[in-house]
Amino acid sequence: MTGTPGEVHLEVRDQVAVLTLARPAKLNAVTPAMTDALTGYVAGLTENPEVRAVVLTGTGRAFSAGSDIAGLASYDSPWQFGQRPDYCDAIRALAKPVIAAVNGHALGGGLELALGCDIRLAAEGATFAAPEIKLGWIGGGGMSALLAHSIGPGNAALMLLTGESVDAATALRWGLVTEVLPGPDLLDRAVGLAATIASRAPLAAQTAKRTLRAAYEMPLGRAIDYERQLQTICFGTDDAAEGRAAFTERRPPVFRGR
């Protein structure tokens, strides 16, 4: 299954979808048309039972430089700008696990896109920045909250208040990314990791994603209670029964997402 509306490409193979931002001449800066394409793809991927994990990456020198600055003048007012469809919201809306394969610069909204993914891998030459303050505003796609949760308030403040970039080694040390790889190995590693996730029980993987979000959105007691409730629901699925049977019979489980 493939598709190419605008400058966002989709390829699905073996239960893994790869979404690629493909506007390399503009560092994959996101236009309204690209936002529409991402939103449409996300809706389809969420509903597609054959897709169990997603990889998001870019082409050329950048993962994404965020919103296309040249297009921001088209908004008639700050209110209209603030109410526009947001590509970061689209990625966070994906119910399935998402891996960011950060192949180059992840700047502004591009960093927010990566932060909206569940796992982040980076190429050795990747850089990360929240440069909006240099232009007189701040990020609005979850930048402050997601950065603080990922790298701690002090490191987040350093990025938000200076707008300066950090390299992949620093991002790894701070916990912004999980692995740093040579550029040629990045996508293969991301797709391989997604394939491993896709081999697990899909309902359990989606539930785990929900409980991870609950871990920082809810007070501790409520988050644990929520996790226990979802565990109970998962325990009653056909996949859980299959997992127990496969363990007893010493064979690989065959999960069907039900």
Domain limits, the chain: 2-198, 202-249
CA dihedral 141, 180, 45, 216 (to 10 degrees): -50
Dist. CA 196–CA 175, nearest whole Å? 22
**pLDDT score for 3:** 45
CATH annotation of 202-249 = 1.10.12
Dist. CA 102–CA 151, nearest whole Å? 17
* DSSP β-ladder status, 53-58 and 98-102: parallel
Active site residues: 112, 132
**pLDDT score for 137:** 82
Phi, psi of 18 (to 5 degrees): -115, 115
Please report, for residues 211, 225, 235, the alpha-carbon distance to residue 232 in angstroms, rounded to integers and kept in the order given: 13, 11, 5
Dist. CA 148–CA 161, nearest whole Å? 13
Size of the chain, expressed as the number of residues it contains: 258
Q: Does domain 2-198 have CATH number 3.90.226.10?
A: yes
The answer to whether the beta carbons of residues 73 and 42 sit under 8 Å apart is no
Q: Per-residue confidence of the chain (258 residues) as pLDDT tens digits?
A: 444 456 999 999 999 999 999 999 999 999 988 999 999 999 999 999 999 999 999 999 999 998 876 666 665 566 556 556 588 899 999 999 999 999 999 999 999 999 999 999 999 999 999 999 998 888 888 899 999 999 999 999 999 999 999 999 999 999 999 999 999 999 999 999 999 999 999 998 989 998 988 888 888 898 888 888 888 888 888 888 888 888 888 888 888 878
The answer to whether the beta carbons of residues 120 and 102 sit under 8 Å apart is yes
Beta strands in the chain, from DSSP E residues, in sequence order: 2-3, 8-13, 16-21, 53-58, 62-64, 98-102, 105-107, 119-123, 127-129, 166-167, 179-181
**pLDDT score for 240:** 83
* DSSP β-ladder status, 16-21 and 8-13: antiparallel
Dist. CA 213–CA 217, nearest whole Å? 6
Dist. CA 35–CA 59, nearest whole Å? 17
60's tokens: 């050329």
Dist. CA 221–CA 73, nearest whole Å? 46
**pLDDT score for 84:** 60
Dist. CA 247–CA 28, nearest whole Å? 45
